[in-house]
Chains A and B, each alone.
Chain A
């Protein structure tokens, strides 16, 4: 018996208290939580004050009639019913969709090309930095600069077009061109930044997979299609989620150039929200559209993450 009790194997191991806390059943680790809360607090306060409270209030306002100077009056689902029947709301969805397709399609393709160039050809920091320049400019300044350069009557671009023997184009004024023009301007502004994100993704692909591909005699196109794209997928998905959300929220370019016109050709959803809420003092209606946009964006992001498997990497 005595020998048995002396057996070191049966002795309770002396583990540090913290580990016991973490693994012990029924314990919650209050000490850590307090420290964690301390570090989370700054972000948390900002999140609650500037995101959570306004979002909840926005959702509440979407069920009211509210002109900001009076008191909100509860009207249930009336705003949503009116929106469903509002041709301008459906128009704004279509216009925004058109913008997003053009903007994201072009921007992602161009950014991918630029990133490949940065990765394989342009290794100079100055050239890589120069690609970011348009992004450093404020949206409003970029929009106004192009607004002047593309002006029909006295814009420099139309002067060149005329010298080339082509007819002048009303880039912002015609219903056909207004959205493509703005999509292109923002593509120009954002593609450098998007390229930088993709470039970072390219750098995380280990070099040895390329060496193996070379040994196997893969062509450049095969390497790109079978190695680069699959291994880049998690980064591409992230970039797409972020840029698509940003693209849906296009506002400043429209606000400083066409203001929703010609007719309703650029009345994008964010501008329509602004118009109803701030110009026409219908904050309840504006909030309701904002809630719908919120739901649309959540759905789009969910679909992208789900079907493009953004949280898995083929490297594992």
Chain B
């Protein structure tokens, strides 16, 4: 409560500061030099962007960039406080799940004029990425910096001892009725305390040593790494249209059948129970040898392949009932705060971040896939040079088997409703039909 009240006062003071600074702006508002601040949340990417910043200053000696990295958990609340308090960064890494609300509240600078004037080639980015950052009002609020898809990380030694070949992993199929070959593989990779496999008679599902499939969490509203790579192979979509849908579809029987299968895995002992996953990260438990396959995002490649003593392979997500794979396609962008006092310098920095000069640097570090097509290929090559085959991730983009992260209004509230609802379903505490009521609550937000 103390915290709340203090923020109230801060907000009041901040509003005054904002009002004052808005009056005093004038010529300064266009400043094209000086120090600009830049925020990002992924510590793994910091070295790459620090180099971009150094190169940028070399090319533009009158502009310096101060980079601040903040963990994801408090990135957004600190940013919001910054908007109100007038201390927000000039430029920051933005997320699809958040920018709609920020744009609506007029916190983002539309950069259409600059993009047109400086002739930024939007077709050079991987398909669809640039369009994601055009808001409901038709204005552009960011330039794409990277993208990610989902793949299956697996423990090669466990596969070998189970007699499953890596080629088999590349041709997995899945359906919500019996789980297809995906469930067979998961079952076979599951081993109980007595060494019995999940598909053998006498398997003890209550004393499992190694789970076939790791679990990250209930997946809240998007299920990005948890279940969307399965549910969206059935033709189901999160919303009526994307971006800017106004109706969610968690009541669809297709979705609920898929979730029923997914929750059932824990019941069969092939996947850890949700309650046991609160704590250590899914990647760390994988490294501790507690799961054989983990479905996770491409931004985790560095972490999975970085564990000592574990040989990791990456397979594409399984082919669904409609004969295609599916992966959520999420992309980040750099946006400019509407309250910046260094508009021109900020635009220059954002355009530099979105250019091949910076994205090639990011590619060379082999941490994420940059948004530019040419830089993406370079990143794949850099991963290859490190001995990591990332085809599982790039294939989704090449074969156009991606679907977009659901972009709507009210995303924070939707998440607030769906998080406990999905947890209840995945932990087996509530039937999948309970999602219908949650869906009604969600859709009531859009009335």
Contacts and interface: CB of A to CB of B under 8 A. Distances in A.
Interface of A: 49-51, 53-55, 57-58, 61, 67-70, 147-148, 150-155, 168, 170, 172-175, 249, 251, 257-258, 260-264, 267, 270, 273-275, 277-282, 286-287, 290, 293-294
Contacts of A155: 279-280
A281 B101 contact: yes
B5 A57 contact: yes
A57 B420 CA distance: 32
Contacts of B278: 152, 170, 172-173, 257-258, 261-262
Interface in B241-296: 272-280, 284-285, 288, 290
B280 A153 contact: yes
Contact of B8 (A58, A260, A279): A58
B412 A174 contact: no
A50 B427 contact: no
Given A153-B272, A279-B412, A261 B5 contact: no
Interface string B393-422: 000000000000000000011001001100
A69 B1 contact: no
Nearest to A66: B11
Contact of B413 (A264, A273, A280, A293): A280
A173 B420 contact: no
Contacts of B76: 279
Nearest to A282: B413
B272 A57 contact: no
B161 interface: no
A263 B423 contact: yes
Nearest to B278: A173
B84 interface: yes
B446 to A, nearest CB: 15
B274 to A, nearest CB: 7
A251 B284 CA distance: 26
B59 interface: no
Given A168-B276, A262-B274, A262-B278, 7 more contacts: A54-B8, A57-B8, A148-B280, A170-B276, A173-B278, A263-B420, A275-B416
Interface string B1-27: 111111111011000000000000000
Given A153-B290, A263-B420, A275-B416, A173 B279 contact: yes
A152 B288 CA distance: 12
A262 B278 CA distance: 8
B79 to A, nearest CB: 11
A295 to B, nearest CB: 11
B107 A54 contact: no
Given A50-B6, A69-B84, A154-B285, A290 B279 contact: no
A55 B413 contact: no
Contacts of A258: 278
Contacts of B2: 249
A60 to B, nearest CB: 9
Contacts of A70: 105
30 contacts: A50-B6, A50-B9, A54-B6, A54-B7, A55-B5, A68-B84, A69-B84, A69-B105, A147-B279, A148-B280, A150-B279, A152-B275, A153-B279, A154-B288, A155-B279, A155-B280, A170-B275, A172-B278, A173-B275, A249-B2, A261-B420, A261-B423, A262-B427, A263-B423, A263-B424, A263-B427, A275-B416, A278-B80, A279-B416, A280-B412
B429 interface: yes
Dominant SS among interface residues on chain A:
loop
Given A151-B280, A174-B275, A280-B413, A68 B11 contact: yes
A281 B9 CA distance: 16
A252 to B, nearest CB: 10
Interface string B97-112: 0000100011100000
A154 B5 CA distance: 39
Contacts of A154: 280, 284-285, 288, 290
A100 B40 CA distance: 38
Interface of B: 1-9, 11-12, 76-77, 80, 83-84, 101, 105-107, 272-280, 284-285, 288, 290, 412-413, 416, 419-420, 423-424, 427, 429
Contacts of A172: 278-279
Contact of A69 (B3, B107, B279, B427): B107
A57 B15 CA distance: 14
B423 A262 contact: yes
A58 B101 contact: no
A67 B429 CA distance: 33
A153 B276 contact: yes
Given A53-B9, A57-B8, A262-B423, A294 B83 contact: no
The 8 closest A-B pairs by CB, nearest first: A54-B5, A173-B275, A173-B278, A151-B279, A69-B105, A152-B276, A170-B275, A54-B9
B279 A57 contact: no
A51 B5 contact: yes
Contacts of A68: 11, 80, 84
A157 B84 CA distance: 44
Nearest to B107: A69
A137 to B, nearest CB: 19
A6 B412 CA distance: 91
| Centre residue among A49, A58, A258, A287 by max chain B CB count within 10 A | A58
A249 B1 contact: yes
B4 A58 contact: yes
A148 B279 contact: yes
A191 to B, nearest CB: 23
A263 B101 CA distance: 26
A1 B84 CA distance: 84
Contacts of B416: 275, 279-280
Contacts of B8: 54, 57-58, 61, 287
B274 A173 contact: yes
Contact of B80 (A69, A150, A260): A69
A278 B75 CA distance: 12
A175 B273 CA distance: 12
Contacts of B106: 69
Nearest to B80: A68
B9 A57 contact: yes
A67 B106 CA distance: 12
Contacts of A287: 4, 8
Nearest to A55: B5
Nearest to B9: A54
Nearest to B429: A263
A128 to B, nearest CB: 30
A290 B83 contact: no
